[in-house]
Amino acid sequence: MTWKPFDKLLPMMAILAIVSGCGTAINGAEDALTIQEQHPISVDRQMVTLILTPISGSGTLSDIDHVRLRTFADGYLNQGHGPLMIIAPQDHLDAHLMAGNVERALQEIGVTAGAVKKTNYAKATGRDVVLTYAHYVATPSACGVWTDTRRRDRKNLRSPNFGCATQNNLAAMIVDPHDLIAPADMTSPDSAIRIRSVRAFREGKKTSTATDQTIEARIAE
């Protein structure tokens, strides 16, 4: 009987090939990415600016300036962060008169006096009044990665586009992208509703919501 060393070597090589092939298909820590990590939403701080030019010899606001200022103030009230800056040139009477009128108009619109900050810039030849505030913009990652999608995936990973549309929709729908960085401050409670409920309870009245008897509840079979 002749001994053939290759008779035992070949099966061992086949087993090693199978084991090494399976080793490449094991999911590792680098594959454990969440949807937020694979398709991140970047939040960037940007400045919003409004430039108003005073009429020569007058610091009043024109009708179009009032409309532009209201639109600007609404944007600040909804998405603004930090102070609303009013920047006027030094030693320019018309510009300083307009800056005062702008500040009063902002307070009438609803911007509190503490949120407005005034400063000056070197006059040179400028006479414009500049208003500016910071807001945040959400930018999602780009979708449509189709490379290697038809190739066999032995790791059984999700497709590169999975969750991308959801992240893009979230970035488009969120009112204030700064909420992705830190939660918004809570608004003041409605004291009138609390007092009304306590008064009704003390008087023995019902404090629960009235039930509409005309509504029928049906259970689908």
Kindly report, residue by residue over 27-86, the tens digit of the pLDDT. Answer: 777 777 888 888 999 999 999 999 998 877 677 888 898 999 999 999 999 999 999 999
Do you know the residue count of the chain? 221
Give me the residue spans of the domains in the chain. 35-182
What distance lies between CA 107 and its chain's CA centroid?
Answer: 26
The mean pLDDT value for 143-170 works out to 80
Per the model's pLDDT, the better-predicted residue between 129 and 7 turns out to be: 129
Per the model's pLDDT, the better-predicted residue between 25 and 76 turns out to be: 76
Alpha-carbon distance of 69 to 63, in angstroms, equals: 10
Q: Is the pLDDT of residue 128 over 80?
A: yes
8 Å CB contact between 133 and 45: no
Alpha-carbon distance of 143 to 146, in angstroms, equals: 9
**Highest mean pLDDT (candidates 79-83, 186-190, 209-213):** 79-83
Q: Which helix (H) or strand (E) holds 16?
A: helix 6-23
What is the Rg, in whole angstroms, of the alpha carbon atoms belonging to the chain?
33
Alpha-carbon distance of 58 to 125, in angstroms, equals: 18
Per the model's pLDDT, the better-predicted residue between 16 and 108 turns out to be: 108
- Give the 3-state secondary structure of residue 89: strand
The model scores a pTM over 0.85 = no
Q: Which fold has domain 35-182?
A: 60s Ribosomal Protein L30; Chain: A; (3.30.1330)
8 Å CB contact between 129 and 49: no
The mean pLDDT value for 137-164 works out to 80
